[in-house]
Amino acid sequence: MAASDKLVELAQRAKIAEDRVAAAKTQARADVEAQVAKTRDAAQEKADELQAQTAKAASGAQQWWSDVQSTWSGHVARLRGDIESKKAEVDAKKAERRADSAEDDAVAAVDFADAALEEAEYAVLYATLARMDADAAATK
User: What does each C-alpha distance from 101 to 21, 95, 96, 108 come to in angstroms?
Assistant: 18, 10, 9, 11
Question: What pTM was computed for the model?
Answer: 0.58
CB 76 within 8 A of CB 43: yes
Model pLDDT for residues 110-121, shown as the tens digit of each residue? 878 877 877 777
Q: Where are the domains of the chain?
A: 3-138
Model pLDDT for residues 21-41, shown as the tens digit of each residue? 888 888 888 888 888 888 878
* pLDDT exceeds cutoff 70 at 128: yes
